[in-house]
Structure 1
Amino acid sequence: MSGSPKVLVVLTSHDKLGNTGKPTGWYLSELAHPYAVLTAHNFHLTLASPSGGPAPLDPSSIDAASEDSTSQTFLAEQSALWASTAPLRSFLGRADDFAAVFFPGGHGPMFDLAGDATSQALIQEFVAKGKVVAAVCHGPAALVGVKKSATSGGGGGGGYYLEGKKVTGFSNAEEAAVGLDGVVPFLLEDRLVEVGARFEKADEQWAAKVVVDGELITGQNPASAQGVAEAIVKAVAGV
């Protein structure tokens, strides 16, 4: 891999919030802030989603970022990025093309990426190649079903990739605070613990928390998105 470091950004294709009748998708600030950090360090981002094509942006995340200039600039200037994402399957076997894979949050990943076999195979490939695997907020839902593979040192025994790893993600308390603990298909904090991860969280709800365990980088909530991107830059470029 030569030239600018490349990051594969995987967005959700899911746009319905359970049976509430409300829309969901990926969360604006959790891509906007990493985009600003990564492009400032000359990283190149490629966007993908399970279905390809338009990736649904959660409208509530636009409202939440109404006074966030970074998110509003990104929304106004970069919509082509998520209007025509590439199908995730087209990146299988191409981990060598990228320095990292990154999963932004929003509730969408809880419904599709958490059980997506293509996404899981892709993560296995990145792990086997020693690439950075990063996720923020509900993005770590994409990691919960990933199994260890023989090439990643797991022996192919079927254990979970996250077993024994330090990780964070959207906490049970934060899910309850937004009133969606009864809507999501599972509680992310609980599931991360169930697959053997060593879950960490900030002392206070909504505070930034970034956890780095080798090549695995996770952030707890929207406030953690910038820190996750900064950790990606440090891991890949050493700055």
Structure 2
Amino acid sequence: EDDKDVKEIYAEYESKLNKPKSIADFVKNDMADSDEYVAIFIPGGHGAMLGLPEDYDLGELLRWGHKNDLFTLAICHGPAALLAANLESPDSFKQDDSDNAKRDFIFKGYKMVAFPTAMDKQMPKIGYLPGPMPWYFAEKLEDLGVTIDNKLASGQTHQDRKLISGDGPLAANDFGKMSAKALLKEFS
């Protein structure tokens, strides 16, 4: 509320923030002709593990972004959504699908930071989660050739090519700065 520039940006985009397009609509109607985007941002939180890794449209969007040299920004549990880039068809994702793991994943060979599985396994013991998580995304990404380069959520950020990642809430500020600097360097 105290930053005039932020307030102006918010006012300019408020209507779009209040009524965002769906990924499915964008993929179906706008993706092929669009050249006004510079990045795909996947926010964190456990919600990123619910539905996004199985979203065929998100997979199409991620592959389109990669092909068009866009940045991909993912923080905390957001990298779980990157699994969608490995989907072949709307119903091909399964937690134990070894055929998907054999495909050439667009982020194969990349390094990143993300919220660590070891910490997720501890969350029920301290009362943060009501019980164990049904699956852990880091293992799936590693099976596809991604290196998760952190053991703790200590505020680390990382950039590998055009993939920028942050390990959790403590990384949010530096993640934002790293992303802004990379985008400004690329487009100024």
- Taking the aligned partners of 1:218 and 1:231, their CA distance within structure 2 comes to 9
Specify the alignment match of 1:163 in structure 2: 108
Which residue does 2:72 correspond to in 1?
Answer: 133
* Aligned-partner Cα distance in 1 for 2:51–2:11: 25
RMSD: 3.3
Once residues 126 and 148 of structure 1 are traced to their aligned partners in structure 2, the CA distance between those partners, rounded to angstroms, is: 15
The alignment's TM-score, normalised by the length of structure 1, stands at 0.58
- 1:140-159 CA-to-partner distances (Å, cap 9, x unmatched) read 1110231399xxxxxxx931
Identify unmatched segments of 5+ residues in structure 2: 89-101
Cα–Cα, structure 1 residues 45 and 127, in superposed 2: closer, same or farther, change >3 Å? Answer: farther
- Segments of 4+ moved more than 6 angstroms: 42-46
Cα 1:95/1:112, change in 2 over 3 Å: farther
CA deviations over 1:18-40 (Å, ceiling 9, x no partner) = xxxxxxxxxxxxxxxxxx9x959
Alignment match of 1:107 (pick from 36, 43, 46): 46
Label 1:98 to 1:225 Cα distance change in 2 as closer, same or farther (>3 A).
same
Is residue 2:145 matched to residue 1:196? yes
Q: Which amino acid aligns with 1:146?
A: A
Q: Deviation at 1:211?
A: 1.2
Matched residue of 2:86: which SS?
coil
Q: Take 1:101 and 1:113, find their aligned partners in 2: how far apart are those partners?
A: 13
- 2:70 & 2:112 partners in 1: Cα distance? 17
Which of 183, 187, 203 is the equivalent residue of 2:136?
187
- Equivalences for residues 14-33 of structure 1 within 5 A: none
Q: How does 1:57-72 map to 2 (within 5 A)?
A: none
Unmatched 5+ stretches in structure 1: 1-35, 47-77, 150-156
Report the counterpart of residue 123 of structure 1 in structure 2. Answer: 62
Q: Which of structures 1 and 2 has the bigger CA Rg?
A: 2
Give the 3-state SS of the residue equivalent to 2:35 in structure 1: helix
CA distance in structure 2 between the partners assigned to 1:45 and 1:139 by the alignment: 26
User: 1:43-58 to 2 correspondence within 5 Å?
Assistant: none
The answer for the alignment partner of 1:212 in structure 2 is: 159
Identity %: 24
Paired residue type of 2:177: E
Contact 1:166 / 1:200 at 8 angstroms: preserved in 2? Answer: yes
For 2:156 and 2:110, the matched residues in 1 are separated by: 16
Deviation at 1:88, TM superposition (A): 1.3
- Give, in angstroms, the shift of residue 126 of structure 1: 0.8
Question: 1: CA distance between counterparts of 2:87 and 2:12?
Answer: 26
Count of matched residue pairs: 161
TM-score (normalizing by structure 2): 0.72
1:195/1:110 CA distance change after superposition, 3 Å? same
Cα distance 1:221–1:89, how it changes in 2: closer, same or farther (>3 A)? same
Q: Does 1:91 align with 2:26?
A: yes
- As a proportion of its length, which structure holds more helix? 2
Provide the rounded CA distance (Å) in 1 between the counterparts of 2:69 and 2:122.
Answer: 36
